[in-house]
Structure 1
Amino acid sequence: MVTKAIEILNSIIKNVLSALYQPFWAAILLAFLAMFLYLYAKEHKWKKNDFVRNMFATWWRAFRSSSNFRRTFLLAFYTAMILLRTVLNRAIWFDPLGKLFGGWGLYEDEQFTTESIENFMLFVPFSILLLWAFQKELLDESENIRFGKTVWEATKVVAVFSFMIEFTQLLFHLGTFQISDLTYNTLGGAVGGVIYYLVYSREKRKK
């Protein structure tokens, strides 16, 4: 009887802690962004009664008037989706190094998986949006961009971002740290850089 009660208590504690831990990092991120909004509102002396209206009005004015704002918003939106999929909405994984050298093919433990393709495809749009939003800052050339520099910058940023994701998964036991993930993510970033260069060059020749 006592053993059964202890098992039930342990199960309750585990489930409660898991329920709190899973949204923990998403909550941290939202709170961080909310405080930026609070600081902005305080700096511009928004009134309490008009807080929501001012927030949406300010955002909409910037979205309509600034193409750079729209590009950055799309990048931020897509980055948030990546983080929600890879870190912020993951369950606890008790052995994050258990598949360190796995995930290279389409079969894992004799089961079909598309994880490698997903990792590759996930970062192709990311690097395109990154270069689109921050072309001048990353490439130092507003008019003429070079193929090698474009692909290198996209690959470098995606590699660092991907490593940060994998390290966070390892540190907080949110998924598995896999070398294949780093490789496919980085390869997707490089391909995105190639696509961006080809599209940019084609559009420039039309002008």
Structure 2
Amino acid sequence: MGNRIFDILNKIVYNTLLALYQPFWAAIFLSFLFMFLYLYAKEHKWKKENIVYDIFSTWFSAFKLSQAFRKIFILAFYTALILLRTVLNRRIWEDPLGKIFGGWKLYENGQLTTEAIENFMLFVPFSILLLWTFQKELLGESKRIVLGKTVWQVTKIVAVFSLVIELAQLLFHLGTFQISDLTYNTLGGAVGGVLYYSGYRIIRGRRK
């Protein structure tokens, strides 16, 4: 009887802590964004009785008038999707180093897995959006862009971003640290850079 009660209590404590731990980093992320909103509201002296109206009014006004705002919003939205997929919405992993050299093939232990392709495809749009949003900052003011510089700049950023994700998975046991993930993510970023360059050249050619 005593062991049964102990097992029940252990399960209750475990499930409670797990329920708090799983959304922990998503909560940190949202809290961080909320504090930016708080500072902005305080700086512009928004009144608390009109704060909801002020939030939506300011946001829609900026979205309507500013192309840069729209670009950053789309990039932020896609980045949030990546973080939720890779870090913020993951279950606890007992052995994050268990597959450090795995994940290269489409078949693992006789089972079809598309994780490698998914990782590659996930970062192709990310690199395109990154270049679209911050082209001047990354490639300079010139309207003529160079393929090598375009690919190199975006590949560096994607590689660092991917490494941060992998280290976060390792540190917080939210997935497995895999060299293959880092490689496919970075490769996806490089291909995205090539696609952006190609699309940019086509659009520029049509405007002439």
TM-score with structure 1 length normalisation?
0.98
How many angstroms apart in 2 are the aligned matches of 1:89 and 1:133? Answer: 26
Cα deviation per residue 1:100-127 (whole Å; 9 max; x = unaligned)?
0000011122211100000000000000
Match of 1:181 in 2: 181
Equivalent residue of 1:104, what SS?
coil
Q: Which ranges of structure 2 fall in alignment gaps of 5 or more residues?
A: none
Q: Which runs of 4+ in 1 moved over 4 A?
A: none
- CA deviation vs aligned residue, 1:157-184 (integer Å, no higher than 9, x gap): 0000000000000000000000000000
140-149 or 23-32: bigger deviation: 140-149
Displacement after TM superposition at 1:142 (Å) = 3.8
Residues 135 and 142 of structure 1 are in contact (CA less than 8 Å); yes or no, is this contact kept in structure 2? Answer: no
Equivalent residue, structure 1, for 2:112? 112
Count residues with an aligned counterpart: 207
Cα distance in 1 for residues equivalent to 2:22 and 2:41: 30
The 3 A distance-change label for structure 1 pair 83 and 201 is: same
Deviates more, 1:123-132 or 1:11-20: 11-20
CA distance in 1, matches of 2:190, 2:13: 45
| 1:112-131 correspondence runs (5 A) | 112-131=112-131
Give the alignment's TM-score, normalised by structure 2: 0.98
Q: CA RMSD in A?
A: 0.7
Q: Deviations over 1:66-85 (max 9, x none)?
A: 11111110000000000000
**Mapping for residues 1-207 of structure 1, pairs under 5 Å:** 1-207=1-207
Partner amino acid, structure 2, of 1:4: R
Mapped to 2, the partners of 1:118 and 1:99 lie a distance apart of: 17
Identity rate of aligned residues, in percent? Answer: 70
Range 106-115 or range 81-90, more displaced: 106-115
Distance 2:59 2:32 in 1: 18
Unaligned runs of 5+ in 1: none
